[in-house]
């Protein structure tokens, strides 16, 4: 049967609520969307890993649809941008995982915005990683409630300081357990209306910390401490998914809740990955093929296996059609609805974005016959068809027959020059298209919004001269200042001009007090003397292996005199102008608060 799968490309409208072939439920379905961080395809027992226990995820896959070839991006922020918007990540402005390059453009429309406009309660509990300064923040991108952290990582998983709707909250316990508890509270509170509960766990991303009972179990199975930590975190996720599903059962919501489970890239290091080449950060199969399970007892038959290729860009249009909601006007989407495949169809009539290289120009939506077996997906440096994986290695092309050679052991580019030529041309057209409009990214940091009067400008969001970063990642900070010619500069968009209180967020040894600091913005400036020490010791953490993340600090604040900011673009420059000793403080950032 030929079906139309909805894809929104700039004009309002969705498939009619009855387009799935049955009367819609009295209430639109809820969505529980679970995403894990750095969990590979092989980190599921039912994917062939008999050394790992994931009974809940195995049952989730069996009770609904399991995608055999589901693809994401090689890194976390890009994948999240595509999952949330239905667009290739470079279109959204996201191009990397740190230094502001993880931030999505404000005009991007997320699945939370689509569902919120249709009356859904929307909550996120975990890792955001697509912008941290409002309105790039979750509360500015369609979520009613946010509990978690905005950056790409945090440095400790036990008793961690998190954010709840803009306010710091000191938590108690292991972070995955804590996030699940907040998600359960949200589900309970919104049981009487449709909800989107987005739970993007940070496990099993480093640092490698996990409760003893999980670590001891996998250490006893002979795994090294790193792998034992990762597998322990995965099993802990499995236990927490069980808590979420049990709550749906308890509230009699299971039959009308779509449960989605996906991971954001391949495994974070070498371990079992079903014989695939590559891991996190790689555009090879093992870096981008991940688990994807979708359960909805009211509509999706248990035991469904989807063999055609699909991707993160397909999630928004799929959920939109399943929910039968009116979509917001969005930029043209790259994904297609997977509803026909969830229903067992092999082909159908799909709408696709006019921004795809093969589509007409002008942004209009076009309906074309589309076979799932003819599709091409793109990633930076690679293209994937149902048969071929094409990779660009500088001027050299690689081609792998994924049906005959799923482990990518033999480059067959020389044997199939016509295929290489075709895919190289398609890839070049795609890359040129998605990289258009990248000027001006990352965007300036908005300050002065009524909804976020206080903004922490962390140093990873700044450009730095003559001062060393402790680490380039999102939980890092500046090392002790050794000179008076260094500077940190933030590019701002001052939404409302006026006087802003400012404070330095820092730690400082007693021997290093006395430095004079200066903030500058145009012809306005503010100064302070850092005359109070603040404990520089690192907080003890429960690391199982040496960490690659920044140490955890107990940050203090030092007031800086108010500074006048004019509306519009501004450069905010921070300098040390007097240095009594050999070095000054360690700096996390500067907090601005509109008066």
Q: Tell me: pLDDT of 86 over 90.
A: yes
Q: Tell me: pLDDT of 443 over 50.
A: yes
Q: Distances from the Cα of 522 to the Cαs of 186, 500, 563, in angstroms?
A: 45, 14, 11
Q: Tell me: pLDDT of 8 over 90.
A: no
Up-side HSE of residue 125: CA atoms within 13 Å toward CB? 24
pLDDT of residue 149: 97
pLDDT band at 441 (very low <50, low <70, confident <90, very high): confident
Q: Which of 330, 384, 358 has its CA nearest to residue 6?
A: 330
Compare 360 and 188 and report the one with higher pLDDT.
188
- Indicate if the alpha-carbon torsion angle 181, 184, 188, 192 is positive or negative: positive
Domains, the chain, with CATH or none: 38-301 (3.40.720.10), 377-434 (no CATH), 445-594 (2.60.120.260)
pLDDT in tens, 243-258: 999 999 999 999 999 9
pLDDT of residue 350: 42
Q: What is the rounded average pLDDT of the residues 82-110? A: 95
Q: What is the rounded average pLDDT of the residues 459-477? A: 84
DSSP string, 204-258: TSSS----HHHHHHHHHTT--HHHHHHHHHHHHHHHHHHHHHHHHHHTT-GGGEE
- Quickly list H helices, 251-329: 285-288, 315-323
CA distance 100 to 461: 5
Q: Which of 110, 137, 263, 129 has its CA nearest to residue 196?
A: 110
Q: Tell me: pLDDT of 431 over 90.
A: yes
pLDDT band at 575 (very low <50, low <70, confident <90, very high): very high
pLDDT in tens, 171-182: 999 999 999 999
Check if the beta carbon of residue 475 is closer than 8 Å to that of residue 155: yes
Q: Tell me: pLDDT of 352 over 90.
A: no
Judged by average pLDDT, the poorest of 93-97, 112-116, 268-272, 433-437 is 433-437
Q: Tell me: pLDDT of 361 over 80.
A: no
Strands 586-594 and 454-458: antiparallel
Phi, psi of 488 (to 5 degrees): -120, 130
Up-side HSE of residue 500: CA atoms within 13 Å toward CB? 32
3-state secondary structure of 561: strand
Catalytic residues: 76, 129
Tokens of 491: 């590019």
Residues 6+ apart with CB under 8 A from 298: 25, 29, 255, 256
Cross-strand partners of 20: none
Place of tokens 């950032």: 589
pLDDT of residue 470: 79
Q: Tell me: pLDDT of 1 over 80.
A: no
Q: What is the rounded average pLDDT of the residues 370-374? A: 62
Q: Distances from the Cα of 124 to the Cαs of 101, 132, 486, in angstroms?
A: 21, 14, 38
Q: What is the pTM of this model?
A: 0.92
CA distance 497 to 117: 31
CA distance 176 to 157: 8
Q: Tell me: pLDDT of 368 over 90.
A: no
Cross-strand partners of 31: 196, 258
CA distance 274 to 407: 9
pLDDT in tens, 124-156: 999 999 999 999 999 999 999 999 999 999 999
> How does the average pLDDT of the chain come out, rounded?
90
Where b means 16+ CB within 10 Å and e means fewer, 185-206 reads ebbeebbeebbbbbbbbbbbbb
């Amino acid at each position: 049967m030929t079906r139309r799968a909805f894809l929104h490309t700039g004009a309002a409208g969705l498939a009619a609520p009855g387009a799935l072939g049955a009367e819609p439920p009295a209430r639109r379905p809820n969505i529980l969307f679970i995403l894990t961080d750095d969990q590979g395809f092989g980190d599921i027992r039912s994917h062939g890993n008999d050394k790992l226990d994931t009974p809940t995820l195995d049952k989730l896959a069996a009770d609904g649809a399991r995608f055999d070839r589901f693809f994401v991006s090689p890194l976390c922020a890009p994948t999240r941008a595509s999952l949330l918007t239905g667009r290739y990540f470079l279109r959204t402005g996201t191009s990397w995982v740190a230094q502001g390059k993880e931030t999505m453009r404000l005009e991007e429309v997320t699945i939370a915005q689509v569902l919120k406009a249709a009356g859904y309660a929307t909550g996120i509990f975990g890792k955001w990683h697509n912008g941290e300064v409002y309105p790039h923040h979750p509360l500015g991108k369609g979520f009613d409630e946010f509990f978690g952290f905005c950056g790409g990582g945090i440095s400790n998983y036990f008793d961690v300081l998190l954010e709840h709707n803009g306010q710091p909250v000191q938590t108690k316990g292991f972070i995955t357990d804590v996030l699940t508890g907040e998600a359960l509270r949200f589900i309970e509170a919104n049981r009487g209306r449709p909800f989107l509960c987005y739970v993007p766990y940070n496990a099993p991303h480093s640092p490698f910390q996990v409760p003893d009972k999980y670590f001891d179990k996998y250490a006893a199975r002979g795994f090294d401490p790193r792998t034992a930590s990762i597998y322990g975190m995965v099993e802990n996720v499995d236990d927490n998914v069980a808590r979420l599903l049990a709550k749906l059962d308890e509230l009699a919501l299971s039959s009308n809740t779509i449960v989605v489970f996906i991971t954001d890239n391949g495994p974070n290091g070498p371990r079992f990955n079903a014989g695939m080449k590559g891991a996190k950060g790689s555009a090879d199969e093992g870096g981008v093929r991940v688990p994807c399970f979708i359960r909805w007892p009211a509509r999706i038959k248990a035991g469904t296996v989807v063999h055609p290729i699909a991707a993160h860009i397909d999630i928004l249009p799929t959920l939109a059609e399943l929910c039968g909601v009116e979509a917001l006007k969005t930029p043209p989407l790259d994904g297609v609805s997977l509803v026909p495949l969830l229903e067992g169809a092999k082909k159908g009539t799909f709408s696709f974005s006019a921004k795809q290289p093969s589509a007409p120009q002008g942004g209009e939506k076009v309906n074309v016959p589309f076979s799932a077996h003819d599709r091409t997906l793109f990633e930076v440096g690679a293209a994937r068809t149902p048969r071929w994986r094409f990779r660009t290695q500088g001027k050299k092309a690689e081609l792998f027959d994924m049906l005959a050679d799923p482990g990518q052991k033999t480059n067959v580019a020389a044997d199939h020059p016509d295929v290489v030529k075709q895919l190289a041309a398609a890839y070049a057209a795609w890359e040129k298209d998605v990289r258009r409009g990248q000027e001006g990214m990352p965007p300036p940091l908005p300050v002065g919004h009524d909804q976020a009067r206080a903004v922490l400008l962390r140093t990873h969001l700044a450009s730095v001269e003559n001062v060393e970063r402790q680490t380039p990642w999102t939980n890092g900070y500046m090392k002790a200042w050794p000179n008076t010619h260094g500077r940190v500069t933030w590019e701002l968009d001052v939404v409302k001009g006026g006087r802003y209180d400012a404070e330095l967020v820092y730690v400082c040894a007693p021997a290093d007090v006395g430095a004079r600091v200066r903030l500058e913005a145009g012809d306005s400036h503010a100064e302070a003397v850092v005359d109070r020490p603040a404990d520089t010791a690192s907080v003890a953490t429960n690391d199982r292996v040496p960490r690659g993340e920044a140490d955890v600090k107990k940050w203090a604040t030092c007031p800086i005199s108010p500074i006048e900011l004019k509306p519009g673009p501004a450069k905010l420059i921070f300098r040390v102008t007097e240095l009594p000793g050999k070095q000054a403080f360690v700096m996390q950032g500067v907090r601005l608060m509109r008066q």
